[in-house]
Structure 1
């Protein structure tokens, strides 16, 4: 249920409605728009509530409509509430501190497109520093790199762990870039928060609800990758777990889904980008490296994702993909990445956007 307050209503009136909701066993989530304030009403799942408390009923709507500064009360039809555009009509813009850009902050979900690039996995200091320097020079402002890496095979390289995080932090300091890296378990969240600016939830963990709850309790942006077999509704419900714990800085990532097609590693669902923008206020980025699994398809799918309206890109780059310990077949060389950036910028300009590069 959403409560739409009248234009220019007072803070006292908003607090009055919030106190009423709390007394009735509900949680009210504020969304302040340009003209109106909307309060999203979430029912309680506490089984110890007295009968009738925390349950959304027609009587609750009638009670809320009786408040003098309430303009209207509406039921939300989507199973995801906080992630829906009904709850939050305006686009969410996630702010990330980035030293290398003017003003020291990058806005994901704003008018500009944000490039995140780097190796799939941190292998050693030389590999990371070489890649970070190259992608920063080409225009990337956020460094991607895995310190903890899930692998389909238990014998695959699984990352350097905390040593990898330390190397990412060193690259961040040297080149002024923010860091996005994956966290795999609830117990690792505090450690990864020490080094990362954005916490990535990988495709295999999209429905790891304990992990989603944990990253929802911290004040760090979260990049939530779509599960490899997840519907859009399931993906947005996973985001709902994070939002419901109080963390509103959620970024969605389309990284391809598993289909019967064998020519590509995954089938990159570009239609998800404009569709999610209709359904949700959350920003969405695209990962054409994981989305295709093929180096020769990364560039065209990058351009297509920008044209489709993505707010950012997540691209794997390696100085020598042929000897990469993980995912070399889908990693661009540093030269290929440098060639791609001006082409992506040209597409962004064609649709009235630009890239944040400095």
Structure 2
């Protein structure tokens, strides 16, 4: 249930209304939007009478029941207003959201060495990315595949963050690693395999850092949003949803099926920001550019692109990785597409390299 407060209501009156609504089996959450103040009631609201709540204060504009099972994640919870997740990086604050500039995240599947991640980070910044993604702990189908450099990789990511000013996104696999990851990461990623690890979701939510929640490879949209609800219910409002492809019957030509239709569906269901990952979705580098452009046209808030300095020698996910030069060219195309659909664009380093020749000169040195 949500209580919409009239514009101009004093903070003191909002506090008084919260106190009036207080019940042992209910939790009140106040959401301060750009145009509305909304108080959410989470818990057993079946016995509450909307007319009695309306009578609590003349400043109550409306009382509405939330029909969706995902209460906090529901668009109704914010009375139709989309939220922004603002992440503080070393150089600036970056907002993820429907009304914010497109956010670009890029990097290798795994952090393979300090020099590799530093060189890649500088190249990605030169191309305009705002966040570096890289796995320190890697979930792999086979126990014999490369599992990541763990704590050492976190140190290398911290160095890349300090040297480039890029924000860091890296995945948590186990609650035992959470504190170490939270020291380095600006956004903590929960991967597709852990989307329904509810114990981990609760702990990540309680940590307070922004969370990137990837859709499970066989998860329905409702299951995905209910997973987000676990993080939100733990007290963390800063959740970004990431579509990374779902498993269907055709595995011959693409790694997964890229569900771009999820963008308009989520816009009707949730206020949370949306990211799309065409690299994991397609599994093949030659399809990444067209799917990235399609995602922008469909209205994504952010993109995650896998980039490796030498994909043929990558320790994981080489076939789906772009080279830094390919990523630079894709970013130029993405900027044009964003402008075509009216999406604002903000580069991490608009003036660091102004043309391809400068970029190639840097890449040769690196």
| TM-score of the superposed pair, with normalisation by structure 2 | 0.91
Instruction: Tell me the residue number matched to 1:46.
Output: none
Q: Is 2:99 the counterpart of 1:108?
A: no
- Once residues 48 and 86 of structure 2 are traced to their aligned partners in structure 1, the CA distance between those partners, rounded to angstroms, is 39
Shift of 1:188: 1.4
Shift of 1:259: 0.3
Q: Encode CA deviations 1:171-218: one digit per residue, 9 max, x unaligned.
A: 111111010000111221111001111000000000000111011112
Q: Is 2:87 the counterpart of 1:96?
A: yes
Distance 1:137 1:35, change over 3 A: closer
Instruction: Tell me the residue number matched to 2:175.
Output: 186
- Unaligned 5+ segments in structure 1 are 44-54
Q: Encode CA deviations 1:54-82: one digit per residue, 9 max, x unaligned.
A: x3125443331221222221111100010
Q: Encode CA deviations 1:292-327: one digit per residue, 9 max, x unaligned.
A: 101100110010011111111111101110010000
- Once residues 111 and 5 of structure 1 are traced to their aligned partners in structure 2, the CA distance between those partners, rounded to angstroms, is 25
Q: Is 2:63 the counterpart of 1:73?
A: yes
- Once residues 4 and 114 of structure 2 are traced to their aligned partners in structure 1, the CA distance between those partners, rounded to angstroms, is 53
**Native 8 Å contact 2:20 2:56 kept in 1:** no
Distance 1:356 1:98, change over 3 A: farther
Q: Find the partner of 1:297 among 277, 287, 296.
A: 287
**Native 8 Å contact 2:110 2:148 kept in 1:** yes
- Once residues 302 and 295 of structure 1 are traced to their aligned partners in structure 2, the CA distance between those partners, rounded to angstroms, is 11
Shift of 1:133: 1.4
**Native 8 Å contact 1:106 1:356 kept in 2:** no
- Once residues 331 and 7 of structure 2 are traced to their aligned partners in structure 1, the CA distance between those partners, rounded to angstroms, is 43
Instruction: Tell me the residue number matched to 2:116.
Output: 127
- Once residues 111 and 95 of structure 1 are traced to their aligned partners in structure 2, the CA distance between those partners, rounded to angstroms, is 10
Shift of 1:17: 2.3
- Once residues 170 and 334 of structure 1 are traced to their aligned partners in structure 2, the CA distance between those partners, rounded to angstroms, is 20
| TM-score of the superposed pair, with normalisation by structure 1 | 0.93
User: What RMSD over aligned residues (CA atoms) do the two structures have, in Å?
Assistant: 1.2
Instruction: Tell me the residue number matched to 2:164.
Output: 175
**Native 8 Å contact 1:8 1:36 kept in 2:** no
Instruction: Tell me the residue number matched to 1:31.
Output: 31
**Native 8 Å contact 2:27 2:42 kept in 1:** yes
Aligned residue pairs total: 344
Distance 1:313 1:35, change over 3 A: closer
**What does 1:168-317 align with in structure 2 at a 5 Å threshold?**
168-262=157-251, 263-317=253-307
- Once residues 292 and 248 of structure 2 are traced to their aligned partners in structure 1, the CA distance between those partners, rounded to angstroms, is 20
Q: Encode CA deviations 1:3-31: one digit per residue, 9 max, x unaligned.
A: 11222222222212222332343111111
SS of 1:117's equivalent?
strand
SS of 1:355's equivalent?
coil
Distance 1:58 1:25, change over 3 A: closer
SS of 2:87's equivalent?
strand
Instruction: Tell me the residue number matched to 2:329.
Output: 339
- Unaligned 5+ segments in structure 2 are 349-366
Q: Which structure 1 residue ranges, 4+ long, deviate > 6 Å from structure 2?
A: none
Q: Is 2:72 the counterpart of 1:82?
A: yes
Q: Encode CA deviations 1:63-103: one digit per residue, 9 max, x unaligned.
A: 31221222221111100010011001221111112234xxx
